[in-house]
Structure formats: C-alpha cells, structure tokens
Chains A and B, each alone.
Chain A
C-alpha cells in the first residue's frame, strides 16, 4: 500500500482477472483521481440535499426538497426552466444551458438532518463517503448550517447553505467552502429599524424575549443595536429556554414592565407559541405610555406564520423572499413551482433553488467541479434575476448581499398562502456592513479545500 501523508484518500484499484475467476487487488497510485474529492466519474454529477425531514422543521425541509427537485429538473433541461431563464450574471446571461452541469446530468441524493448538528453531519458524511456527492446543500437552522459547513470544509466539498440566519454562519464560523444566500440577523435589524421608527415613532421602549441559544443572541444583539440607533430604549431582554412550549410566564410580566414594544426573537415553533401567548394576554389591545402596544417578529417564515393564524395580522418582520414579488425571476419561479406542486413556494424553497442554480453556474464558469475553481467563480459574483434584484456574493465572507423584505401579517388574506404582505423592499445599500464589523468579527475563511 502506498500512503501519502497529505492526501485524504489512498486508492487501491483492482480488477478481476478475467477467466481465472480470482480477483487479485492491483495497487495503483492516486494519479487516477482528479485532485479533488469525489470528482464526478461517468455521465452524472451527484449533489447532496441535506434537509430536515423529521423534527419541527420537517415541513420546511419538505419544501426545500421540492425546490431542489425542481432545480434539478430545470438544470437537466426539463420543465419550463423557471428562474434559469431569468438568471443573469454581470456581463450577460448565466452559463446554464439546460444540459446538466458541464455536460453531466445532475443526479441527487437526499438525507435527513433531523435539525441536529450530529445527525446532519452524519447524513452529509454518508453522502460524501458513500454516494460521492460533490456538493452539500440545505438545512433549516444555523446550528446545523455551521456544523455541516465545517464538515464540508474538512472534507473538501462545497456547502451551499439553506436557511441560516445567525450572524455567525458568515461571521466567526465562516468557511472558504461555504456560501450563504440567506440574509442574517444584522440585515434584519438594519432593514426593520427604519420601518419600525416610521410606523411606531422614535420614542419607544422595547422588551425582548430571546431564544436562549446562539441564533437568538445574535439576532437580539442586532435588533437592539439597530433600534437603539433610532432612539429606542431597551427595557429588558429575557432569555427563554429552547424547549419552552408555554411562554405565558415570560409574556405575563411584559405589560407591567413599562415597555410598549415586544420583540420576539424566536423562530419556528417558539415563534408561534410566544406570539400566540402574547396575543392571548391581550398585549395588542393595550395602551402603554399613551401609545398602542406593538409586537415585532424580526424573522418571519410564511410556512411558520401560518401556524400562528390570525395572530400575525399587522405584525412586522423581515423575510428573505416572498412569492408575491413581481420581478421576472420571482414570477417565473412561482409559476413553475406552483404549476408543479399546486401551491406557492416558501422562502426556504426559493433560497435553496437559487443556491443550486448559483452552484451550477459557478461550475460552468470555472469549467470544473473542483471546489477551488467553484469558490473562485463564486467570490464576488454579481448576478440578477433570481428574485432579489441585483445581488453580490461577497468574496470576503461568502455572504450574499441583496435587498431585504420588510413584511407584515396581512389583514385580509385571500387564501391560506396569503399570510404576509411586503411593506418595503429595503435596498441593499442599507443593510450592508463591513466584513470586520464587530458582530461578525473573529474567525477566518481560510483557504478553499479541494480535499484529496
């Protein structure tokens, strides 16, 4: 056996000796590999879709999976092409031609993250080690995204993050092989604060309820900073355990605290439950300091907002994308998704569809699947037509910069999907920040890792 110290994989190639019926292993050197992990052999290229299929975010995972299937169909030339037709990169149309990626047909494998970092890594590893996936994508929480991003960096494959809103994903935990299309806590704050000031005035006191883990903290920090810059005061920040199902004991003291705004830094089931409790306690009907008491949910997800029913009406928040947008890309995507599945796509579906298209385009631009080539093609990429207006993938931290939507719960929904309405499209310039902003400081991208 030959062993190279720096390579991750040694290769023993063997062939069955014809006629003899005996198989004798033949040792070859690593030359047969193309110098990066899971270089596609044959006519197919395999992508790994790692989404939550069990646990609280299973519905978002299912929607992500639908969008991935749609993206694969479009990449392979099927369907109506969706956003592939509207996707433009700086200086012309995208490189995608509907003949797979680099002439190889796109195949995929799926796995269940269970929204646990351990399980997500196990699932991603099995895709890399067993199925030869060249790229891993998906996920619906920041813990999982950061854990899988780290794994992909070590293994030498590209990671295209799904839903992850924590500043850390492209902050202190950023990795050269990882890319985030979704927006983050800082952007939510920067987009929301001006609208909140306009709607509710500058003289407000906010009370924060915050999910007691990394994402909650970074979002709370971002929102507090952004609103205090507009003159708001912060009365209190109360941390709530992730496992809380009944938020009544956290909501009950809010009214007597002197605050006139409640900010719920919760997501998913936590958000639904805390919002439901807050409305139950009649907070929205109260007057404090002569002003109407208001509730804010900084990060909205339409799928989840539906679970909160009537309670979301009129409540402000931010979101990455919404199906009611009227640009060409969004319309094309909603049309092909809606025609195939019968309902409009969620922001999770939109993000992962974009990520798949962006990855495919980067491979085409680079002319290779080699992660280092892809990273180079992706860094600084400017594109348009994917539903968020002109967008840039910043080279310094692999964060996408694009417009952010400020939304509010719709007062008179016309259908069960019509939960949110877009209040303002916050221009990109307003949510940009320097790569070394204190909330994102620490950590480094490192160098791209092509693996073996």
Chain B
C-alpha cells in the first residue's frame, strides 16, 4: 500500500488507527472516577501529542539517521510559531497560509544555520546549533520586542489583537480555522460514565502528523535515507569513496527544520500565541529527550517519546495532595497519610523529579529507548519461536 512494504504498511496502519481512536484510547477511565486524573483524552493534550510527535519525527530524520545531534531545533519551532501568528495578524485566521509560511520560514532559517553548523561535526556541531538557538531566543525575548520594532512581543508572546490588519478576515471567525472549520470546536460524546471529546484541531493536526509520518517512512526507505545512515556509520569512509556528504546532511537538516517549523505553526494554530520560551535550549533539549527516550532511528520511537514526556508533564503536575488523599481515603488513616507523604515528593510540584528518575531508569535498562522495551515485550510474548528473528533491526 502507498509504496510501502508490508511491515511499514502495518506500522502506518497502526499509527492511523491509534490517531483516529485516540479520544477513546486516551480516556479509559470514567469521568467521575478517581482514576480520571490519568485520562489524557482532552483536546489540548491530544493536540500536543501529535504536534510534538511531528517535531520529534522530524528531529529523528536528522539525528536518528545521520547521528548529528542538534541542540537548537526549538529555534525552528519558535520561528514557525512566530510566522504563523504573523499570518494570522496580517491575513486572516485561516491556518493554511500560516502553516505554509511557517514551513517556508523555518526552511530558510534552517538552511542558513545548517549551512554554517554542518561545517563541523560531533560536539562542535551540537554547540554551534545550541549557540544559534540561544541567540535566537535572546533576540526574540528582548531585542526584537522593543516598542519601536516589535516582531515578537517578547515575554508576553506574540498574539493577535483586535486592531490588527487581518486583510481577509471573515466575520465571526475570530479563532484559527480551516476554511471555516474552527480549531477549537469540540464534539462531546457521553457514553454512560465516559465523556469523549472530539476536537477539530486535534484531527487536523493528526492528519498532518500522519502525512508527515508517511513522508518520514518514505525517507527512511529511500536511497537518500540509506545515504544518511551511511553518514552515521562512517562518514570518513564515505568521503574517501568520493561522496560529498555535506549536501545530504544539509538536506536532512533542512527537512527536519521544516518539520519543526510545521510543528510550530500547528502549535500556533491550535492556540494563537507564540512565546519566546519555545526557543530556549530546554525546549531543544526536550525534543532530543523525546527522540532518544522513544528510540532514535526508529519510526515509531519519536512519537512514543513525545507522548511519554508530554503525558507526564501534563498529568503528573496536576496531582496535588488533595487528589492523593482522595485516592487513598479508603485506607486506614495512618497508611493514607504515609502514602500521601511519600507520593507527595513525586507528584504535583515534584513532577520534575519523577521525570528525571524515569529518564534514568529507561536509558539504563532500555538502551534502545521505549521501542526497545516494546520489542522486548513482543519477543517475550512470541516466546522462543521468535528467537530466529532477533537479528532484525529495531524499527
């Protein structure tokens, strides 16, 4: 199907099914139950899953295939967001021109930065990208937000004001939309104790994500993808055989920059505000973590990693002591209090601690990331029969 081999078709279909049914899958617990805290099936988080999925898929094309570890990809995400919001400000809330411009701008920006940074490799490359990203952040946060020439609106974040130009603005469409289909429209389905939310923005982002995922599979399987893997394996040898690797790595850099720009544009389309923190090095670090955590160089890994980090960030930080007490109220009081006291350090304000511990545990015990874990489970389920297939590469 779609020029994919059987295995990839299976993977792709799997992702499609998950994406379409996400509102159900992410909401396994009844709305009023104590476990509802763990539900992730609300529009904002589902949108984040797929948008950061796109970001990580793109990053994986550079890092997973070529091994070049960029610490500056958040800059492209941020530039994409700014471009999109400017389109909202100048033209209209239609997301098509916004996404288009965010990809283009991020492409140009990454071409420039990639051209300079790819002259170095290894950690020198990483620090160069980091330096560019931090410069972009500092410039966006203060230099370009001065009242005389306000391109980014600094600390507050770029947003659309009522007195903006908006040349082609349609009456009544005061939020981002796709030809009249507003992103924040949500349909609710109540099935006995469960509430499911179907959000237009989520499905638009999911469609984009599926398309970008498909492209990424094609890149992975193309001669170009093979060339990139060769760069990762042994760039020197490739150079000796007379191949100029720079154009290939640059292409990969720009492609992944455009993915980041698209993700940034989509973020702004779901929520028309672009903040400079999106460009900070911690944001760049986050996509690195997503990719490695999920499994660098695998197709599904980045999506998994993005989901993992965003899930814990959004769910864990909301579990306060009050919620903990509600969970354990059926236990004897001394047990309830001691359990709450222990968990207190790991949830709510302590969510960073849990995340840090999870990073360490996963990377110590699963060298190939979450995909490695998934494969191990699969192998274990298949039992001894699968032993012969162990040689197949992790995908």
Contact = CB atoms under 8 A, between A and B. Distances in A.
Is A–B contact present in the complex under a CB 8 A cutoff? yes
Interface of A: 1, 3, 5-6, 8-16, 23, 25, 53-54, 58, 61-62, 65, 69, 108-112, 116-119, 121-123, 125-127, 129-130, 141-143, 146-147, 150-151, 154, 168, 173, 212-215, 217, 239, 241-243, 443-444, 446
Contacts of B44: 122, 125-126, 129
Contacts of A125: 43-44, 271
Interface string B128-168: 00000000001001100101000001111101011000000
B39 A130 contact: yes
B317 A23 contact: no
15 contacts: A6-B172, A8-B185, A62-B349, A109-B318, A112-B348, A117-B157, A118-B275, A121-B271, A125-B43, A129-B44, A129-B186, A141-B155, A143-B275, A147-B159, A154-B175
Nearest to A121: B271
A8 B275 contact: no
Given A118-B275, A121-B271, A151-B271, A14 B186 contact: no
A9 B198 CA distance: 10
A64 B188 CA distance: 34
A215 B349 contact: no
A420 to B, nearest CB: 26
Contacts of A129: 42-44, 186, 197
Given A112-B317, A126-B318, A214-B155, A8 B189 contact: no
A162 to B, nearest CB: 16
Contacts of B182: 8
B161 A443 contact: yes
B154 A241 contact: no
Interface residues of B, number: 48
Given A12-B190, A215-B155, 17 more contacts: A14-B191, A15-B192, A58-B349, A110-B318, A111-B317, A112-B317, A116-B275, A117-B156, A121-B273, A122-B48, A122-B314, A126-B318, A143-B154, A146-B157, A147-B273, A213-B155, A214-B156
Interface in B184-225: 184-192, 197
Given A212-B142, A214-B145, A108 B322 contact: yes
Given A12-B188, A123-B314, A213-B155, A54 B352 contact: yes
* Shortest 5 CB-CB contacts between residues of A and residues of B: A143-B155, A53-B349, A125-B44, A16-B192, A130-B42
A230 B251 CA distance: 61
A9 B200 CA distance: 11
Interface in B263-295: 271, 273, 275, 277-278
Nearest to B32: A42
Contacts of A118: 157, 273, 275, 277-278
Nearest to B173: A5
A23 B156 contact: no
B71 interface: no
B351 interface: yes
B331 to A, nearest CB: 21
B277 A117 contact: yes
Interface centre among B39, B142, B352 (most CB of A within 10 A): B142
Given A12-B190, A129-B197, A112 B157 contact: no
A10 B185 contact: yes
Contacts of A443: 161
A147 B43 CA distance: 19
Contacts of B43: 125, 129
A332 B371 CA distance: 57
B320 interface: yes
B186 A53 contact: no
Nearest to B134: A243
Contacts of B180: 5
A1 B187 contact: yes
B45 interface: yes
Contacts of B155: 117, 141-143, 213-215
Contacts of B39: 130
A112 B351 contact: yes
Interface string B296-324: 00000000000000000110011010100
Contacts of B142: 212-213, 239, 241-242
Given A9-B186, A173-B156, A213 B141 contact: yes
Contacts of A23: 191-192
B191 A5 contact: no
A243 B39 CA distance: 36
Contacts of A119: 277, 313
Contact of B188 (A9, A69, A141, A154): A9
A25 B195 CA distance: 11
Of listed A15, A130, A154, A243, residue having the most chain B CB within 10 A: A130
A288 B82 CA distance: 47
Given A213-B142, A241-B138, A147 B156 contact: yes
B186 A8 contact: yes
Contact of B154 (A69, A111, A213): A213
A222 B153 CA distance: 19
Contacts of B157: 117-118, 143, 146-147
A146 B155 CA distance: 10
A229 B83 CA distance: 42
Interface string B327-368: 000000000000000000000110110000000000000000
A343 B30 CA distance: 40
Contacts of B154: 143, 213-214
A344 to B, nearest CB: 21
A213 B145 contact: yes
Given A130-B39, A168-B156, A8 B184 contact: yes
Interface in B81-122: none
A44 to B, nearest CB: 10
Contacts of B190: 12-15
Nearest to A107: B322
B390 to A, nearest CB: 41
A117 B275 contact: yes
Nearest to B48: A122
A110 B189 CA distance: 26
Nearest to A3: B185
A25 B187 CA distance: 12
B349 A112 contact: yes
Contact of A123 (B153, B317, B322): B317
Nearest to A53: B349
A8 B351 CA distance: 32
Contacts of A108: 322
Contacts of B197: 129
B345 to A, nearest CB: 13
B162 A446 contact: yes
B186 A10 contact: yes
A376 to B, nearest CB: 21
Contacts of B275: 116-118, 143, 147
